[in-house]
Amino acid sequence: MIAIARARALRAERGEKVKQSPSRIRATSVSDWRRLPGWSKARDTEMQRWFSAELQPWMNDIRSADIRRTLDCSKSYSVEIKHGKRFPHPRLMRPLAALAGVEYPERFP
């Protein structure tokens, strides 16, 4: 781990771009999400409000390991979602609602 951090720091010092790992999440890609009929930033904002009001309170009852398994995401991302430090992308809200047993609104894709 330390060697990886050193290598990244050296690349950053030399001005080289640090390649980001591709997302492992097995959901609709962000680009495909944005191509859905009726997609808009306003709709995504509406979904985030719904998540905060309806779904986030249920996240405390769900283990981060279950979130991680459902979304196939990293441990840190699942913990941040569970504790409300991060909003999941709207494309991930349907599987989270199913995991929590919360009804997903029909008006959302």
Alpha helices for the chain (secondary structure H): 2-13, 30-34, 41-50, 56-59, 64-71, 75-82, 93-100
C-alpha atoms less than 13 angstroms from C-alpha of 29 in its C-beta half-sphere: 5
Quick check: pTM over 0.75? no
pLDDT band (50, 70, 90) for residue 104? very high
pLDDT score recorded for residue 3: 77
pLDDT band (50, 70, 90) for residue 20? low
pLDDT score recorded for residue 22: 52
pLDDT score recorded for residue 38: 83
Q: Tokens 């591709």: give the residue.
A: 22
pLDDT score recorded for residue 7: 79
